Structure 1
Amino acid sequence: MEAMPLPSQADATEVPGPTTVLTRGPSGGAPSSSRSITQTVNGSHHFKINGYSLAKGMGIGKYITSETFTVGGYEWAVYFYPDGKNVEDNSLYVSVFIALASEGTDVRALFELTLLDQSGKGKHKVHSHFDRALESGPYTLKYRGSMWGYKRFFKRAVLETSDYIKDDTLALTCTVGVVVSSTQGQKLYSIPVPEPNIGLHFAELLENGLRSDITFEVDGESFAAHKLVLAARSPVFKAQFFGAMREKDSEVIHVKDIEPPVFKAMLYFMYRDALPEDCELSGAASPTTCSVMAQHLLAAADRYGLDRLRMICESKLCEEVNVETVATTLALAEQHHSSQLKAVCLKFVAANLAAVIQSDGFEHLRESCPSLQCELLKAVAGVEDDSEMEVPVVVNVSKKTPLDAPAMDGSDVNGRRIRPRT
């Protein structure tokens, strides 16, 4: 069995709470106020179970557990019972529970369990407390090992012939919302603080050329700049101006293989940490022109070690990936060390292989990046690199995970049920 945990993605959802107002007392003092805010701190965990058919028959009450994950300052774990949790069900159902895996007393929380539809149709099976009025409020877990979940989560015979299982694998997403409360007092005075504007001042240096000490000649156009600023932003410029192999007393540098508009936009980014509003990458021009600009800026960013600019370009090019562009974009990503863009392109090719092979850019990809053919085959076959594989989960629960004898075996710790949402 394999657990595939992702980092918890925490967020807070505010729920209107009571407001206490203290009125003017006998002393005639000014009134004061405060408010209590109750909200949930949410986090999700993805649990994938590979080899489902091998887990069957392990016995009623036997379970597979995910790695623990943290939400709201507490640890949690997902428990999956292939043969069900209760003897009376005679293994007709699979059971799924969420357990409090760390020390805690009267922890109040909301829960959501989602069985993922792997056909791509998006017909996930969802059991959720979120966005729903609960008669008695959130559920309370009394202590470590307390559980909430379903003894009859899904009928096994139906599950095993459904789109929820693919390649002998099923996937669950668990969301926990821990309820927290805080009280805020009245702020008597406040002074607004302006937004940071250091980029504006540095941009003025670039525009007026004050105290510039280096000039770039790019295809007949000149750009004045400042060595210290460029060195602070780019390891390449730092080595060029101040490293052991620095160009002594150089005041003019001739730049090849970069067009003037691209170099100008790159310089602006280095001073401002943003692209100029009139840059074609911003979408002012046609999508094709924006994509071409993003490609050129990506190459420039890689050349000068500007990681944030490269990521901005990767994000833009990712939006433009389609059957006609994916091959050339994949080649570009491979040449300029754009790992995330490369991963997106490989997944797209794997899902649309027949159409991509017929595209004009595929032959260019084969010729320019022959080493990618092996990775393409792995992507099509759905084979992951060993470095990305997760450590298999042991069925026995360690001392840090929920107890061998779970406290609850009902629908939830309060004996309540909710109606499934599909």
Structure 2
Amino acid sequence: MAPKRPRVSESQYYTNDDEEVLSSSSRWICETVKACHVFKVEGYSLAKGIGVGEYMTSAEFSVGGHDWAIVFYPDGLTEAAQDYIAVYLKLVSPGEVRATLEFKLLDQTGKGKHGIQYFTRSPKTFTNNCFKGWPKYMKRSKLETSSYLRDDCLSIHCTVGVWKTRVEEEKHYVIPVPPSDMSQKLKSLLESEIGSDITIQVGNEFFKAHKSILAARSPVFRAMFFGLAGNPDMETVAIEDVDPFVFKAMLLFLYSDEFPKARDLSDPDFVCTSTTITQHLLAAADRFDLARLKLMCEANLCEDITINNVATALVLADQHQCLQLKTACLNFAAKPENAGEVMKSDGFADLAESRPSLLIDLFETSAVVNKN
């Protein structure tokens, strides 16, 4: 006889292809239900002589579906503790309960400085008529000269926290969800020109696009088409001072939210390095208020700083408020092993002429680097 398979608290169901379609699980949950009760003893001086081991109880109160009562011994619980008052919590209802308890005396002066606080750090197990508390809660002589006793009245505050547990079963239907293809669909929409309603002239090239998509992605295009001075009915618009291949790369980002691939950052009529193209793209991103694309360009340029391009990148960073790129360029150029070669580069002469304030920044950075 084959051995029986052990039962487990979690189960899984599979199709013939071993593809999970349904799983179940359970969890054990422990919660604390808390409530407070104040037991006010009026005429404390009269109650004080009832005798050792004698007590008075509060009215019953309910916490967590169980009934409780506060038990107060004004003359002490035992002969050994007769100089102390004792306070206890009693479970009145039947059954077994785990609970925490806390006692404190309320200040009778109205200043709110309650004290003599006793509490359990972990739950205690109560059974019917079970008492738990402190036999030497407070010395009677101290109580009678404290702010907790005024006009022959004493207020005992008790907080009960009943532990409740339950087991919950959860079922999860596992349905495979493919990754989003939104960017691919939008790029296809751009490439197919389906539904295009705007033609953008950049240099000698023309790009068909969708005004709604451009406006949703760029505040500049939104103002151009739908702003107070915009024209939602325009069919063509010319963009100046941007190279067509740079605009194409930016357009692909607008539709895909992805940094353009290397093949998108090339143009046979515009011979330059990918770093230079990224610099142009950063300027376009700043012009059309594309913060995400601008940061992408900035991050790429920070990773590709060299002796030959650091001066140009520094000027670009200063022009377009790219603080991280500016800091990276200054730190690179200020290094003793780089400074001499940077000053010989073609870009450094342009920097000194167009942005003389950057020379001050460079000298200050050099002073810090050399000091360290």
What is the TM-score normalised by the length of structure 1? 0.44
1:263/1:353 Cα in 2 relative to 1: closer, same or farther (>3 Å)? same
Higher percent of residues as strand = 2
Write the distance in 2 (CA, Å) between the matches of 1:214 and 1:188.
47
Give runs of aligned pairs for residues 19-418 of structure 1, distance below 5 A.
24-25=6-7, 190-247=174-231, 249-277=233-261, 279=263, 281=265, 289-351=273-335, 352-382=338-368
1:194-219, Cα deviation, whole Å (9 max, x unpaired): 11222122222211222222110111
Q: Give the secondary-structure state (helix, strand or coil) at the position aligned to 2:356.
A: coil
What is the TM-score normalised by the length of structure 2? 0.50
Write the distance in 2 (CA, Å) between the matches of 1:353 and 1:251.
52
Q: Give the secondary-structure state (helix, strand or coil) at the position aligned to 1:224.
A: strand
Write the distance in 2 (CA, Å) between the matches of 1:364 and 1:201.
44
Instruction: Read off the aligned partner of 2:310 and give its amino acid letter.
Output: V
Contact 2:250 2:260 in 1 (8 A): no
1:193/1:30 Cα in 2 relative to 1: closer, same or farther (>3 Å)? closer
Instruction: Read off the aligned partner of 2:205 and give its amino acid letter.
Output: E
Q: Give the secondary-structure state (helix, strand or coil) at the position aligned to 1:222.
A: strand
Contact 1:265 1:279 in 2 (8 A): no
Contact 1:214 1:250 in 2 (8 A): yes
Q: CA deviation at 1:365?
A: 0.7
1:339/1:30 Cα in 2 relative to 1: closer, same or farther (>3 Å)? closer
Q: Give the secondary-structure state (helix, strand or coil) at the position aligned to 2:283.
A: helix
Contact 1:302 1:337 in 2 (8 A): no
Contact 1:231 1:241 in 2 (8 A): yes
Q: CA deviation at 1:377?
A: 2.2
1:187/1:318 Cα in 2 relative to 1: closer, same or farther (>3 Å)? farther
1:187/1:359 Cα in 2 relative to 1: closer, same or farther (>3 Å)? farther
Contact 1:234 1:306 in 2 (8 A): yes
Q: 4+ runs of 1 displaced by more than 6 Å? A: 29-34, 185-188
1:343/1:211 Cα in 2 relative to 1: closer, same or farther (>3 Å)? same
1:223-247, Cα deviation, whole Å (9 max, x unpaired): 0111111111111111111111214
Instruction: Read off the aligned partner of 1:299 and give its amino acid letter.
Output: A
Identical columns (%): 48
1:305/1:33 Cα in 2 relative to 1: closer, same or farther (>3 Å)? closer
Write the distance in 2 (CA, Å) between the matches of 1:215 and 1:374.
46
Instruction: Read off the aligned partner of 1:311 and give its amino acid letter.
Output: L
1:189/1:244 Cα in 2 relative to 1: closer, same or farther (>3 Å)? closer
Write the distance in 2 (CA, Å) between the matches of 1:272 and 1:226.
14
Contact 1:291 1:320 in 2 (8 A): yes
Pick the structure with greater CA Rg. Answer: 2
Write the distance in 2 (CA, Å) between the matches of 1:335 and 1:270.
23
Instruction: Read off the aligned partner of 2:185 and give its amino acid letter.
Output: H
Contact 2:286 2:320 in 1 (8 A): yes
Query: Which residue in 2 is equivalent to 1:52?
Result: none
Contact 1:331 1:369 in 2 (8 A): yes
In the alignment, structure 1 segments of 5+ residues that lack a partner are 1-21, 35-184, 384-422
Write the distance in 1 (CA, Å) between the matches of 2:261 and 2:342.
34
1:249-288, Cα deviation, whole Å (9 max, x unpaired): 3211111111111111111110111144453549xxxx96
Contact 1:218 1:258 in 2 (8 A): yes
How many residues get paired? 208
Q: CA deviation at 1:319?
A: 1.8
Q: Give the secondary-structure state (helix, strand or coil) at the position aligned to 2:237.
A: strand
Higher percent of residues as helix = 2
Contact 1:280 1:293 in 2 (8 A): no
Contact 1:280 1:290 in 2 (8 A): no
